[in-house]
Amino acid sequence: MDSVVGRVKYWKIVEAQLRQAREFLHSPEEVVIPDRGLDAYEEYVDNGEFASAMEALATSARQSGCKSGFWRRLKKVATQLGLHESADQYERCFHEALATSRRGAV
C-alpha cells in the first residue's frame, strides 16, 4: 500500500512542477504544440504523459520566451523522470537565459 501511495505522490509532484514551470513562460496561456494547441498540453498532463508535456513546454519557451527560472523548474521535472540528458540541456538553457537577462540589465 505504501508503494502505491509513494508512486501517486511522486507523479503528483512531477505534475505540480510542470504546472509551476508553465507559469514562467512569457505567455503561459499559449503553450504551443504543433498542430494541437493548449488542449494537447493539458491532455498530456492529465494522462500522465509528463515527458511529452515537458517537451511541449520547452518548445513553447524556445518559441515564445520565458523567465530564466523556467529552465530550472523544467530541469527538476527531467531529473525526476530520469531524463538526465534533458536535465543537462535545461541547465544549459538556464545559464544562457540568465546570461541574456544580465546583458539586458546592463
Give the pLDDT of residue 7: 80
Secondary structure class of 62 (helix, strand, coil): helix
pLDDT band with cut points at 50, 70 and 90 for residue 30: low
* Beta carbons of 65 and 25 less than 8 angstroms apart: yes
Average pLDDT on 34-47 reads: 73
pLDDT tens sequence across 63-77: 878 888 899 999 999
* Beta carbons of 21 and 77 less than 8 angstroms apart: yes
The highest-confidence range among 2-11, 25-34, 53-62, 85-94, by mean pLDDT, is 85-94
Give the pLDDT of residue 92: 95
| DSSP state at residue 27 | S
* Beta carbons of 31 and 80 less than 8 angstroms apart: no
* Beta carbons of 50 and 15 less than 8 angstroms apart: yes
Alpha helices in the chain (DSSP H): 2-22, 38-46, 50-64, 69-80, 84-105
Does residue 32 have a pLDDT over 60?
no
Average pLDDT on 4-15 reads: 84
Cα(69)–Cα(75) distance, rounded to whole angstroms?
10
Which pTM value belongs to this model?
0.77
Cα(97)–Cα(65) distance, rounded to whole angstroms?
9
